Structure formats: C-alpha cells, structure tokens
A and B are shown apart, each in its own frame.
Chain A
Amino acid sequence: MKVERIVPAIAVCLLLLGAFSTVYVESSKEKIIQDTIKINDKELEISKIMKSCRDMSIEPEAGGNYEGISLSDMINFSGVKNPAEHRYKILGSDGYSKTVEWNDMNNGIFDIEKRIVIFTNLPKQFWVKDVVEIKVV
C-alpha cells in the first residue's frame, strides 16, 4: 500500500483514539463534592478534618509558598493503622493519580480551596489537582 494512503489512515486512527479517550475521561470523571473527601474508603467531612488536623505552611523545592492541611494528619484522622507501612494513591477527578510513600505524606499538604496536594520534596508532577480520593495501598 502506498505511503500516501497509509499516512492519512494513521492520522484518522489517532484522532479517533483521542476522541474516544476524551469521551472516556469525561464520562468517568468523578464529581467533586466540595464538603467531603474520600480517604481509606471513608467519606470524611472537610470541616471535621480542618478542626482535627494541623495547618502547615510549606516552601516546596519546586518554588513558592503554600498553606494547607497536613496530609499525614489527614491520614491519621481517617484511622489508618500503621500508616508508615502503607503507600498512598492520590486520585484526581479526571483519573490522574500519583502514589507516594508515608515519608512524602509527612512533607505534604492539602489545599482545601484548590483541592490540590503539594509536596515539599517531590516534583510538581506529583501535585494532583481536583483530588477526590486518597487510597491506602
């Protein structure tokens, strides 16, 4: 088959892949409930988390100055036993996720207003936006 026929066919296939992926991402997007966040399979109220967990101010290696609630306190508040023995998968509403260690959680905050996790010691790639859930793995 000629290159002139194959190339447009590949281009169309890629655009179709992109279109189907967009439909999939949009249809599987989890709705953000502003008042709650799911941690360790429990739906926790943000207002209760704010009362029980420390406020922290951090200056990440990636730059800037941020304030939010301590991620390790949130995990402890959710009742996870032996938190240092687990990993934590942070999920965004669009399916983007990052798995981090307990040591990273100790160096991280959750900005409630923007629903973003920020870590002092990790690249910005790990700053998951529109967080809907933190899974304990």
Chain B
Amino acid sequence: MKGMRILAGIILFGSLWGMMECVLGDYLHNQGIWAGAIMTGFMGFGLMAISRRMYGVRGMQLGMGLIAGVLKYIHPVGGCMLCSAIAIAFEGAVFEIIWYSPKLNMNRMNWLMKASMGVISGYIIYSAGYVITHILTPVVASAPLYLSDLAGVMPVIFSSATIAGLAGGLTLSAVQIPSDFAMRVTNAKKEIYYPVAYAVSAFCWIGTIILS
C-alpha cells in the first residue's frame, strides 16, 4: 500500500479519535463518569483496532495517537489538556508494542482470543497511559514530580483500568470488518479516497476548534 494512502488514513483516524476525545470525552468527564477508561477502551482502542484490521500496517496507530494527542492539546476546554494529550499520544505507542507480534492477527482470531486480547489491550493501554502522563506531565510543565505520589495512586489506576479492559474486550469482539469492505475502502480510487479522508479530517479539526 502506498505511503500517502497510509498517511491519509493516519490523519483521518487520528483526527476522528481526537475529536471524540474532545467532544465525548469532555462530556463524560463533566458528568463524573470514568471518561478516561471509557474513551480508551471503546473509542481509542476501537479506532486503532479498526484501522489495524482495515490497513494491516504496523506503526499506523502510533501516528494516530500523536495526531489525536495534538488535537486534544489544542482544544482549550475540559479536563487536563496536557495530561490527556500525553496519555493519548502514548496510547498509540503502547498499542504498537502489544500488537507487535505478527502472530497476533485480528482477522484470524476466534472470539475468545479477540475478547482476551481486547481486555489485555484496554487494560494495559489505559494503565500505561495513566502512569506515563503522571510522570511526563510534571516534567513538561516544570511542576514537582514525586514518585511516591505515583505509588499511592497505583491501586486507583489498576481499579479504573478494569473498565478500560472490559470495554476493550467488548470492542474487539464487536469490531467486524469484512475483508472485501476493507479492501474496497483502502484501495478506493484516489479521486475519492484522498478528498474524503482529508475532508473528514478537516471537519474534525475545524469542528473541534469551533466547538471550543
């Protein structure tokens, strides 16, 4: 697959993820619901799983996380922008590590493997993102960093990660993309593929900034 097609896919899926984090994530946060765990388990992991199944390209999800993190950071409303942006940016990297092995092919898994890998992915991506942002946010913001605070908060992280794990299990079990559909989308004529990908991406960015 051509690099430019993959790049357009990264921008498209990353922008969708970033917009959902800004709109739905902030709404859940304001409602006092487990916004981080739900958004990671359903939305972030869901979009990364869909893009991996459709394109089958490693490294794409790392780029998606970076795009989504940037969109979250420039969106000036809601929860902790810097913390969320750092967490999201690293969630893509953690996904890449978990799904690095070629043996883990989503298209060839039975339902038990899908559910289990979904649980593992949701749980670890959320926990790792939480820990990383707790270390890097103070570093980036020149704020005090004490690892004893992190040790104290670990049970809270492991507890809330359960929601992300269950959400991941449900998401991966539910993501059904027929291979012929994936082929049609990823190999669509360039006259259709690029304009649609960039138009949707632009809508996500402009819409998020206007909504702010």
Contact with B along A3-44 (1 / 0, CB 8 A): 110011011001101110110110010000000000000000
Contact with B along A91-107 (1 / 0, CB 8 A): 00011111111001000
**CB proximity of A51 to chain B, nearest CB, Å:** 31
**CB proximity of A62 to chain B, nearest CB, Å:** 7
Residues of B within 8 A of A21 (CB): 155-159, 162
Complex Cα gap A4–B146 (Å)? 40
Contact A122 B141 (CB under 8 A): yes
Complex Cα gap A91–B110 (Å)? 45
Contact A22 B144 (CB under 8 A): no
**Residue B174 CB within 8 A of the other chain:** no
Most buried by A among B124, B159, B165: B159
Complex Cα gap A37–B207 (Å)? 43
Contact A15 B79 (CB under 8 A): no
**CB proximity of B154 to chain A, nearest CB, Å:** 8
Complex Cα gap A115–B64 (Å)? 37
Contact B159 A18 (CB under 8 A): yes
**CB proximity of A95 to chain B, nearest CB, Å:** 6
| Stretch among B7-15, B50-58, B80-88, B193-201 lining the A interface | B80-88
Contact B143 A122 (CB under 8 A): yes
Interface residues of A in 43-63 (CB under 8 A from B): 62-63
**CB proximity of A28 to chain B, nearest CB, Å:** 8
| Total cross-chain contacts (CB, 8 A) | 105
* CB nearest neighbor in A for B166: A15
Residues of B within 8 A of A95 (CB): 152-153, 155-156
Q: What is the size, in residues, of chain A's interface with B at 8 Å between Cβ atoms? A: 36
A99-B144, A101-B144, A126-B143 known; A11 vs B115 contact (CB < 8 Å): yes
Complex Cα gap A98–B138 (Å)? 11
**CB proximity of B75 to chain A, nearest CB, Å:** 11
**Residue B184 CB within 8 A of the other chain:** no
Contact with A along B124-163 (1 / 0, CB 8 A): 1000000001100110010110101100110111110110
**Residue B106 CB within 8 A of the other chain:** no
**Residue B116 CB within 8 A of the other chain:** yes
Contact B116 A10 (CB under 8 A): yes
Contact A14 B120 (CB under 8 A): yes
Residues of B within 8 A of A65 (CB): none
**Residue A79 CB within 8 A of the other chain:** no
Complex Cα gap A95–B152 (Å)? 6
8 A/B residue pairs, CB under 8 Å, sorted by A: A3-B103, A7-B116, A14-B124, A122-B143, A123-B80, A123-B137, A123-B143, A125-B133
Cβ-closest 6 pairs across A and B: A18-B162, A124-B80, A21-B158, A11-B116, A11-B119, A21-B159
Question: Besides the contacts A18-B158, A62-B80, what 4 more A-B pairs have beta carbons closer than 8 Å?
Answer: A99-B146, A104-B143, A123-B141, A125-B82
Interface of B with A (CB < 8 Å)? 76-77, 79-83, 103-104, 110, 112-113, 115-117, 119-120, 123-124, 133-134, 137-138, 141, 143-144, 146, 148-149, 152-153, 155-159, 161-162, 165-166, 169
